[in-house]
Amino acid sequence: MSDLFWLTKTGMHELAHLHFADADASYESARYAVFGVPYDGTTSFKPGTRFGPRAIREISLNFESYEPSTGIDLSLIPFTDLGDLVVSRLPEEVVRQVADVAGDIVRDNKVPVMLGGEHTATVGMVEAVEPEVYIVCDAHLDLREEFDGTPYSHGCVTRRVLEMVEDVVIIGARSGDSEQFEVAAERTQLYSADTVRELGIGAVLREVRERIGGKKVYLSIDADAIDCCLTPGLGTPEPFGMTPLDIREVVRTLAPHAAGFDYVEVAPFDSGQTAAVAAQIVREFIARHWAAGR
């Protein structure tokens, strides 16, 4: 798809082309469409996640195209990178922009893959994909009704998703006020970071797979699900979290069931390790989904 056609198709939304490694297919032939949302307008601690999509793309160039665990060369998978959305400053407008772009991708029978940017953008992805089950790895419950004067804060993402999806699974959470933990207990399936450590990620994922069956899934990875001592490039860091290997196992297990995916909240002011994990996880998602023949 030419940039002009994409701009025409999505109306007022402008996408500047920045390239994820091996995303060389045309839009017409692509099965997966990557795009970035460089937004951190509701950041409540350290800003910088707006630089996440660029950092993920840049470090993706470091990796071999061959993915050994699947035996697949990513250069042979038809996926494309549409570039970054030129975002509004208003979080509710960003959600609408993402929903418009992801909606076009879904209607064209492609799988949307979003690079964040703050987690707020995920609300638009879920609106477009319309999953039956929403699964998120996150340090935070994100179940506030509103935060800092807006219901579209990064701290309200899962609360907004609950308005669209009844079945929500949270993995790795370890932060939230008492009210949020009450909502999580009543309305979600919560596997805290402590539970993941006690049961093991394999046992958790066996339960999750039984839960989802053949249902349509959306999978979201917030970078801060991982212990901040391991990947410190985070806007809202939390210790005592999951490991990169845990997250890789989540994606390897659940990618075949997912109709959409995002990796968000990379704030690349570390030495590159947070973006490196993100780039590899994006590659894992695409390879595993493709290998499953979905």
Q: What's the CATH code of the domain at 110? A: 3.40.800.10
Distance CA(194)–CA(214), nearest Å, equals 28
Torsional sign, CA 20, 23, 24, 28: negative
- Report how far apart the first and last C-alpha atoms of the chain are (Å, whole number): 22
Percent of the chain whose pLDDT exceeds 90: 91
Q: 134 - beta bridge partners?
A: 168, 218
pLDDT score of 15: 53
Residues contacting 237, CB < 8 A, separation 6+: 46, 224, 228
pLDDT computed for residue 182 by the predictor: 98
Compute the distance between CA of residue 64 and CA of residue 73 in angstroms, rounded to an integer.
9
Q: What is the pLDDT of residue 294?
A: 60
Tens digit of pLDDT at every position of the chain (294 positions):
333 334 434 454 555 556 999 999 999 999 999 999 999 999 989 999 999 999 999 999 999 999 999 999 999 999 999 999 999 999 999 999 999 999 999 999 999 999 999 999 999 999 999 999 999 999 999 999 999 889 999 999 999 999 999 999 999 999 999 999 999 999 999 999 999 999 999 999 999 999 999 999 999 999 999 999 999 999 999 999 999 999 999 999 999 999 999 999 999 999 999 999 999 999 999 999 999 986
CA distance 40 to 47: 7
Q: Which residue has the tokens 């989540």?
A: 250
How many other C-beta atoms lie within 10 A of the C-beta of residue 181?
16
Domain count, the chain: 1
For residue 44, what pLDDT is reported? 86
Interhelix angle for 244-254 vs 273-291, to 10°?
20
Name residue 81's amino acid.
Answer: D
Give me the pLDDT at residue 2, please. 36
Would you say 101 and 35 are in contact if contact means Cβ atoms under 8 Å apart? Answer: yes
Count other C-beta atoms under 10 Å from residue 89's C-beta.
8
Helices (H), the chain: 3-9, 52-60, 91-107, 122-129, 157-161, 178-187, 193-199, 201-212, 244-254, 273-291
The predicted pLDDT at position 51 comes to 97
How much is the pLDDT for 189? 98
Q: 15 lies in which domain range?
A: 3-291
Q: How do strand 32-37 and strand 111-116 relate by DSSP bridges?
A: parallel
Helix, strand or coil, per DSSP, at residue 39? coil
Identify the pLDDT of residue 13. 57
Instruction: For residues 167 and 287, give the distance between their C-alpha atoms in angstroms, rounded to a whole number.
Output: 26
Helix, coil or strand: residue 133:
strand
pLDDT tens digits, 203-216: 999 999 999 999 99
Task: Calculate the alpha carbon distances from 153 to 43, 158, 212, 281 in Å.
Answer: 8, 10, 28, 25
| Residue 33 φ then ψ, to 5° | -125, 110
Give the pLDDT score at 3. 38
The widest CA-to-CA distance across the chain, in whole angstroms, is: 52
